[in-house]
Chains A and B, each alone.
Chain A
Amino acid sequence: MYQRCKSLCFASNLQSRYKSILSKIEAKERRNLLFEEEKKRQRTAVGRIEKIEVKYQSPVEEVTLIMNKCISTPMDCAKHISEGVSKVSAIAMVDGSPWDMNRPLLSNCELKLLNLLSPENKLVNTAFWRTCSFILGAVVDIAFKQDVTVHLHSFPVPVIKSGSFIYDVYLDLADWKPTDQEMRALSAQYVKLINKELPIERIEISESLALDMFQDNPIKMTQIPDIAKSNNNKIILYRIGDYIDISKGPMVGNSSLIGRCTIAAVHKIPEKENLYRFQGVALPKGIILNQYAYGLLENRARKFNNTSWSVFSEENNEVEDAKVFGRN
């Protein structure tokens, strides 16, 4: 049992293949460095600070906030309103369109904050599901030992009714069948990451910079030009901790909004070489479900989720978050 568990990497076991370790960690560090630099550059590009008026309709009264243009985010507004609101808000609606909690506001607007425990709009749930997929990618990225090559592929459009959130990953393992212990270990990693209560940052960058950042991942390299083409030569990046991924968003503002979660299964995608689909199920924090009902959900999440399978086989690269902004 222990031997099998060891194929997942939890500690920095630096003995084997020292070189490849460094290259992977280095690539990650470099990507984060570029991310930081780009963020700083965008912040300085704002120049002289201008003020904007943000209107927020609370259940009690209408609040008008004076915020900084291109700097203040809905999260800042929520902090001004109350601590409770800032803790539960998942995404914001700015003049009726979805907006990430950590994305700067651009002009005078009406703000609405949505939470997961009274979802006025189904969009919150979709954003939650997308965030779960994104974090699953982060977990898979760090979970394996360094001698296993891991290339994250993509996560398709979130479909809640399919019963599980997914992430497709290229693994350098032929016919890997994870044991029960390995699945538990993966779930534990996931919970650990969530419990850090990390904010999820968002940034828009150009295509060339994105290619520079993801040069260690050949799959992403092929996807980036297509994504950029369909999105005005802009790539939207999200970051949690030190993990960066491409997604069209929106996502929820903080990983603390995720409550109970399980990584349920790993399936090999048929007709694709070494491409594995990681599946999981999660509930927002604050939703309490009994063990039996949650067990039903877990069992369903174990079945192979063939979401966007037809799209997948036809146009491989379009899958990457082919999510249209305002859809559902």
Chain B
Amino acid sequence: MNQAKIEKLVSRLRYNVGSKPRKLKNVDGPEGRFRKIKKTLTAVIKYERIELNYARADETRGYVERLISEALRHGPEHGETMELANFWIKEKQLVHKLFKVLVPRYQNYTTSFTKLHNAPCIYPGYAYKRAILELKGNVYPTVEQSNPHQHNLLHNILLDAARKEYRMEKYKEIAANMNV
């Protein structure tokens, strides 16, 4: 059968898309779901880093990724892409940002364009998980904090030494067995 390859029709997203779309329950039904996603998507493109409920962040992430990848593929001259951008982005000046700022930024990316972090629930908080959704390559300091002196931490030194000792014992054992 002559079937078109799916990758040629739709750009492949570089993150794990969930198996089912979330309903994002609200009184307006599917229309309300669009409204919610539009609002969050616009905010992500505007502020480049936002904190919100995990489910909504994860759901919006796919739409942001898809929109940017379409913009990358077809550019502003492509009618359908422009229509798509006009539909999802609520503020018109951000459509310019999409094509003039984000497209050049992500031109050579081989990874996803967004990043989703788990955020802490601050006491007393609600039951919902929190998340931070950000566009990569933004100007803010990083969310993740790594310790540059990790190898100097005492427990790492101790565990390293313990591992070395264990290896040495094993080598000795092997050597002893070889002679016999």
List residues of chain A with CB under 8 Å of any chain B CB: 116-122, 125, 128, 160-163, 281, 283-284, 287, 289, 293, 296-297, 300
Contacts and interface: CB of A to CB of B under 8 A. Distances in A.
Given A296-B159, A297-B159, A300-B165, A284 B154 contact: yes
B154 A128 contact: yes
| Most B C-beta atoms less than 10 A away, residue of A116, A119, A289 | A119
Contacts, number: 50
Interface in B42-86: none
Contact of A293 (B147, B152, B159, B161): B159
- Pick the 9 closest A-B CB pairs, nearest first: A161-B161, A119-B152, A300-B162, A118-B149, A125-B154, A119-B149, A287-B155, A289-B155, A297-B158
B127 interface: no
Nearest to B158: A297
B83 to A, nearest CB: 48
B153 A296 contact: no
B162 A125 contact: no
Contact of A297 (B147, B153, B162): B162
Contacts of A296: 159, 162
B157 A160 contact: yes
Contact of A122 (B147, B152, B155, B158): B152
A119 B153 CA distance: 6
Contacts of A284: 154
B147 A118 contact: yes
A63 B155 CA distance: 32
Contacts of B159: 293, 296-297
Contacts of A161: 157, 160-161
A59 B141 CA distance: 14
8 contacts: A116-B154, A117-B147, A118-B148, A119-B154, A160-B154, A160-B158, A163-B165, A297-B158
Contact of A120 (B149, B155, B157, B161): B149
Contacts of B153: 117, 119, 287
Nearest to A299: B162
A283 B155 CA distance: 7
A128 B157 CA distance: 13
Contacts of A118: 147-149
A161 B155 CA distance: 10
A280 to B, nearest CB: 12
Contacts of A116: 154
